[in-house]
Structure 1
Amino acid sequence: MKQIQRTAVLTGATSPRGIGVSTARHFASEGWGVVILDLDHAASEHVAQDIAEEFGVPAFGHRIDVADEASVITAQAAVAAQVAAGDLPPTGAVVNIAGITSPVDFLETTLEIWHKVMNVNATGTYLVSKAFLPEMIESGWGRIINMSSVSAQRGGGVFGKVPYSSAKAAILGFTKALAREISATGVTVNAITPGAVDTNIRVGSTDEQEAAIAAGIPIGRTATTGEIASVIGFLASDGASYLTGTTIDINGGSHMH
């Protein structure tokens, strides 16, 4: 069994083709303990069990609704209980992956759609970061890694439209402000802005739309989830200790600045 020193907490990490599962597996392969938090409690437990069995690391799954403060507090308390019992090492990284999109033209959006997309993406990032930050500050070491999108930089143009791009742009501002505020604590805060990734988030897209997306990327294809996971893993490593408040672009050249 690998030497385990820290736990990575990931939200939105149960979809078999998702960035979250790939990232959880990456952390486990590096010897981290892993916490899987998702709306589906059973799926969270199942993914955690699979990871524990495959990699021989402690893993724990629990339900979370990242847009609901009470649910976030309950999930954090459940993780803290695991740490206190010695079943998990202390939390060392929080990866805010949970998110939804809504490919609806602006004039067809509703306030309900706006709030839902903003709450899951932006408010969820705020609530989860706030809940798990105190433990990392107390230990003097930690990593918060937030999932934004190239859509925030380009003003859409991939699949998500105005609410999604707005929520992901809010995450960039949140990342920089929090990184500056806690910079002396030993906890870093960074964001990644993936372009198109081969996941299920673009539910409802056609083969023609997918081909058009790939054609607009200089590298000529969408990213794999593993490619995103490797960058997240780097940001959580000791080697990234001098990076905070940064945005790492992973878009195959579709946005250069």
Structure 2
Amino acid sequence: MVKTALVTGGSKGIGRKTVELLALSGCNVIVNYRSDQEYAESFVKGVETSFDVKALSILGDVSKKEDCERLSASVLQEFGRVDILVHNAGPYIHERKRMGDYSWDDWNHLINGNVTSVFYLTKLLLPSMRENGWGRIITFGFDRVETAPAWVNRSAFAAAKTGLASLTKTLAAEEAASGVTANMVCPGDIIGSWKERSVVDAVGVDSPLVPVGRPGTGEDIARVVAFLASDESSFITGAVIPVTGGQDVLGKHLKEKARGMLH
């Protein structure tokens, strides 16, 4: 039977590349987006044409319970089930701030968008996975998140993702007997257009801060997600998997600062 995958924030960035690889593997795909309807609709039309699968775009802010309820209802009405749930969407504030400098709204935005949203959507779609005896839940974190590390000037994002790592592991333990796995993928420092590019584009491109020597790409992450979404990954659950090229993502700004001081 053809599997159906829902990717939140799936029209752009790493989510877009993930949608493409899941479609390539033969999955029908639902692309959730929060803005730019025309862009999302154009993307899903291209996916249907290129990969000969069914694709659907659905508007919704997954940090809002009402949007998650509407999104879930639409998906279940259209496809009857969701087999693969990829929680890609998650807000991030680029400006570096100490914890005491976050506004109330900033804090709530990051916590709700990165961990509460996963609770909402998983709670709504988990029953169909249990009923079918098969499911894949995939979340996103950051390098070493399972150790609850300090991430200076990233307190809200780090707190949300650290909580999400525990939630992912707990889901894995609770749902193992249901045939549902839950795993977390932790991307390295993949920035700008690299989020939507392929591994072949990065070969030969120098990236001195990354030990493997090249930039990370959206395809690097999407390949891992696609494997975790497959039947072949059934023995992997509760895992937190770094895909960083060996880079110390949390210490990157300190190294850049030191390099700047040296030069």
1:32 matched to 2:23: no
Structure 1 or 2, whichever has the larger Rg, is 2
Match of 2:70 in 1: 74
RMSD of aligned residue pairs (Cα, Å): 2.1
| Gap change, CA 1:216 and 1:233, over 3 Å in 2 | same
Letter of the 1:219 counterpart: V
2:151 is the alignment partner of 1:156: yes
**Map 1:60-71 → 2, pairs under 5 A:** 60-71=56-67
Tell me which amino acid in the other structure corresponds to 2:47: I
The structural deviation recorded for 1:186 is: 0.3
Q: From 96, 99, 104, give the equivalent of 1:104.
A: 96
Q: Partner amino acid for 1:14?
A: S
Is residue 140 of structure 1 aligned with residue 133 of structure 2?
yes
Distance (Å, rounded) in 2 between the aligned partners of 1:112 and 1:127: 20
Deviation string for 1:143-167 (max 9, x for gaps)?
000011127355336xx71111111
Which whole-Å deviations, capped at 9, do the CAs of 1:198-233 have from their partners, x for residues lacking one?
Answer: 34699xxxxxxxxxxx54332234310001000000
Residue 217 of structure 2 aligns with which residue? Answer: 224
- Tell me, in whole angstroms, the C-alpha distance in 1 between the residues paired with 2:21 and 2:179: 23
- Quick check: 1:150–1:156 contact (8 Å CA) kept in 2? no
Q: What TM-score results when the alignment is normalised by the length of structure 1?
A: 0.84
| Structure 1 residues 110 and 200: alpha-carbon distance in aligned structure 2, compared to 1, 3 A threshold | farther
Q: Report what 1:208 is aligned to.
A: none
List aligned pairs for 1:217-256, cutoff 5 A. Answer: 217-255=210-248
- Could you tell me whether the CA contact under 8 Å between 2:136 and 2:228 is conserved in 1? yes
Q: Which amino acid aligns with 1:131?
A: L
Once residues 227 and 221 of structure 2 are traced to their aligned partners in structure 1, the CA distance between those partners, rounded to angstroms, is: 10
Question: Normalized against structure 2, the TM-score is what?
Answer: 0.82
Q: Give the secondary-structure state (helix, strand or coil) at the position aligned to 1:132.
A: helix
Q: Is 1:13 the equivalent of 2:10?
A: yes
SS of 1:155 mapped into structure 2: coil
Amino acid at match of 2:88: I
Map 1:48-67 onto structure 2 (within 5 A): 48-67=44-63
Matched, 1:22 2:17: yes
Contact 2:194 / 2:217 at 8 angstroms: preserved in 1?
no
Give the conservation status (yes or no) of the 8 Å contact 2:4–2:79: no
Distance 1:104 1:198 in 2: 16
Give the conservation status (yes or no) of the 8 Å contact 1:198–1:225. no
Relative to 1, partners in 2 of residues 1:20 and 1:93: Cα closer, same or farther, differing over 3 Å? Answer: same
Letter of the aligned partner of 1:50 in structure 2? G
Q: Deviations over 1:221-256 (max 9, x none)?
A: 431000100000000111110111111110111259
Amino acid in the other structure paired with 1:44: A
Aligned length: 233
**In structure 2, what is the Cα distance between the partners aligned to 1:36 and 1:172?**
24
Query: What stretches of structure 2 of length at least 5 have no aligned partner?
Result: 196-206, 250-263
% identical equivalent positions: 30
Amino acid at match of 2:71: A
| Secondary structure at the counterpart of residue 150 of structure 1 | coil
| Aligned match of 1:185 | 178
Which of these residues, 83, 87, 92, is aligned with residue 92 of structure 1? 83
Q: CA deviation at 1:47?
A: 2.0
CA distance in 2, matches of 1:180, 1:171: 14
Mapped partners of 1:68, 1:80: distance in 2: 18
Q: Which residue pairs with 1:87 in the alignment?
A: none
